[in-house]
């Protein structure tokens, strides 16, 4: 049962059944969300309502929604409508939100200010929940360019603000975890998600898995090993930022008519567009399925996907709700959006109850 808090109609007080074996050692649970993280946070809270998490010290789980706002001069502020002292806080934010006019930097700043607010007002532990971790592609300078390692800077800012732990979904590069130093980073692997979606292709003798670039190779190798499929990889280079050229495809395509392509993210869609067109032009593959961990929602990508669907054999694209989907993308009849709410709920529950994470975070062999 959810009872509205009189001070703020968006804040919700959620009561769970009592089970002393499920009592957290780190204080009562509090879920909070900045504006761009509220949609996914609500889904997780609904799942948590059905979990047997005990009340701690007689207090109920609190959900603080949309805790950030802007003053008329453009400054961001965070206001906490409930006492958070001693709480185990899980703070949701969508750093990329194409459904709003808030950009990545504005959302990141709101996240940092929210961390500081919980720290200054006595939260016992603050765990950030960032389904899409922005800036991970800036984990090293471009060769020959004078660029900073911005991924490390954002990690430093988060830790300095007061972050104690971080949960992310399918980061662009797991090496980014090292930038957080002693702060634990729980990176949820997308492999089980893709294996579940594409299980129907297991052992198909006319189907091949294709990594669209070297960065996706490890995921694709594990994916194909589990589904007993052949594996291929494209050779890609970028002549300039956000432009991709695929020069070759490495793999045995004899007898292959169908292909599965996995990528960690689509921004403008240049990589998957180049890969799919190369596959269609150079092989006998005529049906393609695409799986993507993060779809960033650019209009250019939507138009490219439409073209690939109508002219280059793209049957379906599967994405997650790690980034809120735009109406233009949601209306595509070949686009399938799956929620990562259950994965996030399980991680949050186990962290809060101090249970082991092996079963949740361990990827299939």
Which residues are annotated as catalytic? Answer: 236
Measured CA to CA, the distance from residue 169 to residue 223 in angstroms comes to 17
Q: How, if at all, do strands 243-250 and 230-240 pair?
A: antiparallel
Q: Mention every residue, 6+ apart, whose C-beta is less than 8 A from residue 43.
A: 339, 341
Do 35 and 102 form a contact (C-beta atoms < 8 A)? yes
The strand ranges marked E within the chain are 2-5, 8-14, 29-33, 61-64, 68-70, 76-78, 88-92, 125-130, 165-169, 185-188, 207-211, 230-240, 243-250, 258-266, 287-295, 314-320, 335-338
Measured CA to CA, the distance from residue 76 to residue 333 in angstroms comes to 38
Helix (H, G, I), strand (E, B) or coil at 257: coil
Measured CA to CA, the distance from residue 53 to residue 61 in angstroms comes to 9
Alpha-carbon 216 to chain mean position = 16
Residue 249 tokens read as 């495809």
Q: Mention every residue, 6+ apart, whose C-beta is less than 8 A from residue 201.
A: 207, 227, 229, 258, 260, 289
Alpha carbon separation from 200 to 195, 204, 227 (Å, rounded): 9, 9, 9
Look at residues 123, 132, 85, 129 and name the one whose alpha carbon lies nearest to residue 104: 132
Residue 291 pairs with which residues in a beta bridge?
262, 318
Measured CA to CA, the distance from residue 233 to residue 217 in angstroms comes to 7
């Amino acid at each position: 049962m959810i009872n509205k808090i009189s001070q703020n109609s968006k804040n919700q007080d959620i009561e769970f059944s009592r089970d002393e074996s499920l009592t957290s050692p780190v204080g009562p649970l509090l879920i909070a969300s900045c504006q761009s993280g509220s949609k996914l946070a609500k889904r997780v809270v609904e799942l948590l309502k059905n979990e047997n998490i005990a009340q701690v010290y007689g207090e109920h789980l609190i959900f603080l929604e949309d805790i950030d706002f802007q003053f008329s001069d453009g400054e961001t502020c965070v206001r906490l409508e409930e006492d958070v002292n001693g709480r185990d806080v899980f703070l949701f934010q969508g750093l990329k939100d194409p459904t709003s006019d808030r950009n990545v930097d504005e959302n990141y700043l709101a996240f940092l200010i929210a961390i500081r607010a919980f720290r200054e007002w006595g939260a016992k532990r603050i765990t950030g929940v960032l389904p899409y971790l922005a800036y991970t592609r800036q984990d090293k300078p471009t060769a020959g360019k004078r660029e900073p390692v911005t991924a490390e800077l954002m990690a430093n800012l988060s830790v300095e603000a007061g972050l104690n732990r971080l949960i992310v979904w399918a980061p662009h590069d797991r090496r980014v975890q090292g930038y957080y130093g002693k702060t634990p980073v729980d990176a949820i692997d997308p492999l089980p998600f893709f294996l579940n979606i594409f299980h129907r292709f297991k052992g198909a003798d006319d189907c091949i898995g294709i990594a669209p670039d070297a960065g996706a190779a490890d995921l694709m190798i594990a994916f194909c090993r589990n589904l007993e499929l052949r594996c291929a990889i494209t050779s890609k280079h970028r002549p300039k930022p956000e432009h991709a050229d695929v020069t070759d495809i490495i793999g045995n395509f004899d007898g292959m008519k169908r292909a599965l392509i996995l990528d960690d993210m689509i921004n403008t869609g240049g990589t998957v567009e180049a890969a799919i067109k190369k596959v269609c032009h150079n092989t006998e593959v005529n049906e393609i399925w695409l799986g993507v961990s993060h779809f960033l929602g650019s209009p250019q990508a939507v138009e490219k996907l439409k073209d690939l669907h109508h002219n280059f054999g793209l049957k379906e694209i599967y994405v997650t709700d790690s980034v809120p989907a735009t109406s233009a993308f949601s209306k595509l009849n070949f686009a399938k959006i799956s929620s990562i709410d259950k994965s996030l709920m399980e991680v949050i529950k186990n962290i809060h109850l101090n249970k082991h994470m092996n079963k949740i975070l361990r990827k299939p062999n």
